[in-house]
Amino acid sequence: MLAVAAFPAAIVFARRSSTVTLLEAVYSFPVPIVLGALAMQQARRARERIARTLGRAGGARQARWGRSLGMIGIGIGIAAGLALAFYALLAHFSA
């Protein structure tokens, strides 16, 4: 969940803060990528544990949700990184 909420939280913080601009908040794009990768790693470990215990450990639904939210977080981070890269290209060639 943190992977999905990290970047929108940075945007909200930039909107409400007088010291941080929106462009500076976009530089937080690696945070959801790292958190999403960690969520996917934990989901993989949970699925392995569930398979090892033949499902008695429980938590298959939580592992599936963790993997899904991790993938969404990685997608948000990549999209923000691409937006920042295109902004930098536009700023470079327009000057």
Q: What is the mean pLDDT of each run of 10 residues along the chain (95 residues)?
A: 92 93 91 96 95 89 95 96 94 88
Instruction: Please give the structure tokens belonging to residue 26.
Output: 């976009």
d(CA 69, CA 82): 20
Cβ-based neighbours of 28, under 8 Å, separated by 6 or more: 6, 7, 10, 80
Enter the pTM of the model. Answer: 0.87
DSSP annotation of 19 reads: S
Q: Are 9 and 55 in contact (CB under 8 A)?
A: no
Do you know the residue count of the chain?
Answer: 95
Domain enclosing residue 16, as ranges: 2-94
How many structural domains compose the chain?
1
